[in-house]
Amino acid sequence: MIAVLLILVGVSGLFAAVRGDLAHPPGPGHADLAAALRVPADRQRDEVSRSTQRVAPTPSVSTPPEPSVSPSAPASPSPKPKVTKTRAVVKKPTPVGGLSQVQMDHAATIVRVGEKLKLPKQAFIIAISTALQESQLLNLANYGVAESLDLAHDGVGGDHDSVGLFQQRPSSGWGTVEELMDPATSATKFYDALMQVPGWQSMSITEAAQTVQVSAFPDAYAQQVSLATLVVDALV
């Protein structure tokens, strides 16, 4: 019985002590412990706050608009290079036998026409012998033929209506004044008449020329044969 009472007294005292502790505020030691417990929580809140402030907002990235692509214009064709036509330079024949350049040029025309007609060299000598005798290898107009004076000429004659290198007469059917005043045309007409003479290739130069020209002085062509031969040799 006594033991039970002692136990009850001890338990009663223990409760009294506990109530006393609860009735009085904790001492300094208890305050330090509470503060120590609060620090980590407060520090954690501060760290979270600071970390929130340090995180910079993510800048919005705006995508630049794509450049508008205009359809490419069709390439213009490159200009074609200009083609410059160069005029062929015709070398003038060198005069021989005391002839002037004008006379030599006319002789060259007579030979070139004969070559185009595929005539032999003998025909060239006959033609030039005739032109030397008739006009001295000059393209002559005629005082009595007004039309001839308006055309290119090297001098003026006055024998009937004879004109040109071969002194051919329009009134005799050789052609128009304009045709006969053109050296190449008048030479062609002379060769055409020569080829109409039967056996002209076997004739002497004087005989062949006279048959074509029907001159009042048939033997005059003979004196021109040597010079005509020299000229033809220089041209062919």
pLDDT tens readout for residues 112-152: 999 999 999 999 999 999 999 999 999 999 999 999 999 99
Is 179 among the domain residues? yes
Cα-based distances in Å from 100 to 32, 54, 105, 141, 148: 144, 113, 9, 19, 23
Is 26 among the domain residues? no
State residue 132's pLDDT score: 98
- Which residues, 6 or more positions from 184, have their beta carbon under 8 angstroms from its beta carbon? 109, 112, 113
Region 148-161 average pLDDT: 96
pTM for the predicted model, two decimal places: 0.64
**Both tokens of residue 63?**
């995508």
Q: In this structure, which amino acid lies at residue 149?
A: L
Is 227 among the domain residues? yes
Q: Is pLDDT larger for residue 36 or for residue 123?
A: 123
pLDDT band at 215 (very low <50, low <70, confident <90, very high): confident
Q: Does position 184 have pLDDT exceeding 50, yes or no? A: yes
Cα-based distances in Å from 136 to 107, 114, 180, 228: 10, 19, 16, 11
Region 30-36 average pLDDT: 46
Nearest to 141 by CA among 116, 159, 123, 114: 159
Is 20 among the domain residues? no
Is 200 among the domain residues? yes
Instruction: Count the domains in the chain.
Output: 1
Kindly report the length of the chain.
236
State residue 216's pLDDT score: 81
∠ CA 61-64-67, nearest 5°, is 170
**Both tokens of residue 53?**
């402030």
Is 30 among the domain residues? no
Cα-based distances in Å from 116 to 136, 137, 233, 234: 24, 20, 17, 18
CB of 119 closer than 8 Å to CB of 113: no
Q: What are phi and psi of 163, to 5 degrees?
A: -140, 160
Name the residue range of residue 230's domain.
101-235
